Amino acid sequence: MIADDQRLFAEALEAILSSERRIVVVGRAFDGRSALELSRVHHPDVVLMDIAMPVMDGIDATKAIRDELPGTRVIVLTGSASTQDISRARAAGAAGYVTKDQIAGDLVRAILDTAA
């Protein structure tokens, strides 16, 4: 599942991931609350979560998803490489942290490794 408030980025990311036969995108959320609601419905193996989103930020959404759905792993996918954001994501239960400039090969590998 993809949670990112930038619709064009989320759509482009879904298109990239659709080329990998081992990955199926089950939904897209455009804010943290929707990410939590969609996770409750779809029980995804992995959620790609942006940090800066409206309604509920990605850190709070990550914590809520991990609390309610411990089998769902969250990879934070964001533009920020700050150590504070990385620490907050880890504390919220994120299984991984990938910056948006690493999307090419690293993201698919991170998703598959996290799902395994």
Per-residue pLDDT at 15: 87
User: Is position 39 within any domain?
Assistant: yes
What residues make up the domain containing 28? 2-76+91-98
The rounded distance, in Å, linking the Cα atoms of 13 and 59 is 20
Give 48-73 pLDDT, tens digit per residue: 999 999 999 999 999 999 999 999 99
For residue 56, the domain's CATH number is: 3.40.50.2300
- pTM for this predicted structure: 0.87
CA atoms of 61 and 102, how far apart (whole Å): 22
Domain count, the chain: 1
Please report, for residues 73, 76, 98, 115, the alpha-carbon distance to residue 81 in angstroms, rounded to integers and kept in the order given. Answer: 20, 11, 8, 23
Report the candidate in 97, 106, 94 with the shortest Cα–Cα distance to residue 79.
97
Would you say residue 24 lies in a domain?
yes
110, 78 contact by CB (below 8 A): no
In a domain, 112, yes or no: no
Is 15 part of a structural domain of the chain? yes
